[in-house]
Structure 1
Amino acid sequence: MVRAGLTPERLAQVGAELADELGFDQVTVSALARRCDVKVPSLYSHVRNSEDLRTRIALLALEELADLGTAALAGRAGKDALTALANVYRDYARAHPGRYEASRMRLTPEVAAASAGPRHSHMTRAILRGYDLTEPDQTHAVRLLGSVFHGYVSLELAGGFSHSAPDSQESWSRSLDALDALLRNWPAA
């Protein structure tokens, strides 16, 4: 039980833990109050409502993912960097499914701009420097990589690959190989 030391940051952390346990869509101020063993009104001095709480969890998740991605990319380039960042997203989603879902939450433009979200784009663009892509192809490639990483992870978490061979890990590795080959041979406009 949390009770003492309630702050917006601490409540976001406890909310993130709830999201991982119950699912992001189940995180509400009421559920958080029960977890913290306090009455709901006592939380309203720290969070405005459930939407504010979920936004704080999303910001926390984006920050955690950006920190992990930055560390994973240090000293890497090309396919090694591509694989490292892809594995950060996949590993985080497996370890923290609720937070991962939160990181996909649609934020207002102002909140998104002030979040760690732009760091994710910068990390992906850093990977692409090893592939000599220029604009607008670089933007197309950022969108492609995000679609593949997040699409694959979402399908995998939902059990979409659990009923057939080959193993999901093999498909993941082959998908990253294919992305590397595509980026090295990006089609001309």
Structure 2
Amino acid sequence: MVRAGVTVERLTLAAAELADDVGFDNVTVAALARRFGVKEASLYSHIKNARDLKTRVALLALAELADQVAAAVAGRAGKDALVAFAGAYRDYAKRHPGRYAAARMKLDLETAAMSAAGRHAEMTRAILRGYELSDPDQTDAVRMLGSVFHGYVSLETAGAFQHHPREVEASWSRTLDALDSVLQNWPPA
């Protein structure tokens, strides 16, 4: 029997909140059932299994992040767009650590193709058009930006920068300056 008020959408949002509270790796059907005050078995009328639940959280996170980035870059170009994109990405990761981890989940090809992951790549490529990069350089630049943003955010949220006197914001700003410079002066093949 389906419990009143329990829907796939509510379960997904609750699982995303749980991920932010306890970490994405610790999201389980049992933990979610405790949050709803129901037996674990009753949730299986809404979700297939733990993988299905985590995939739903990943898709939610990808969509939220894409919406946040799209709003930030709207009407911007060049370095302004790059800084807005990076800032929105970083803010989301810091505000929603569990959801951010979910957005990094490896999805099967079909699910990934239908997710907001494609929007992320499209927005990154749109920013890069302002730097007049074409493929394969554009693909290389997309991978570079993703690596730098993810690496910086991962180190920052893990506390790796807290024991150095240089302010994290100053380093972030210089990192974006360096990326802008590299993109403007992309090395020839």
- Is residue 164 of structure 1 aligned with residue 164 of structure 2? yes
CA distance in 2, matches of 1:69, 1:151: 18
Distance 1:15 1:37 in 2: 14
Deviation at 1:168, TM superposition (A): 1.0
Deviations 1:106-163 (A, max 9, x none): 0001110010000000000010011000110000000000000011101111111111
Q: Deviations over 1:79-100 (max 9, x none)?
A: 0000001011110011100000
Aligned residue in 1 for 2:85: 85
Equivalent residue number for residue 75 of structure 1: 75
Partner of 1:148: 148
Q: 1:52: Cα distance to partner?
A: 0.8
1:31 maps to: 31
Q: Which residue of 1 aligns with 2:53?
A: 53
Corresponding residue of 1:118: 118
Q: CA deviation at 1:101?
A: 0.5
> Which consecutive unaligned segments of at least 5 residues does structure 2 have?
none
| Superposed CA RMSD | 0.8
Give percent identity, aligned residues only. 67
How much does 1:166 deviate? 0.4
What amino acid is aligned across from residue 8 of structure 1 in structure 2? V
CA positional deviation for 1:4: 3.7
Residue in 2 that maps onto 1:19: 19
Aligned residues: 187
Give the 4+ runs in structure 1 shifted more than 4 A: none
Residue 184 of structure 1, CA deviation: 0.3
- Partner Cα distance (1:17, 1:74) in 2: 28
Q: Distance in 1 between matches of 2:165 and 2:148?
A: 20
User: Per-residue deviation at 1:53?
Assistant: 0.6
Any residues of structure 2 matched to 1:91-130 within 5 Å, and which?
91-130=91-130
CA–CA separation in structure 2 for the residues paired with 1:37 and 1:84: 41
Q: Please state whether the residue corresponding to 1:131 is helix, strand or coil.
A: coil
1:58 offset after TM fit, Å?
0.3
Q: TM-score, length-normalised on structure 1?
A: 0.97
Paired with 1:71 and 1:185, the residues of 2 have a C-alpha distance of 28
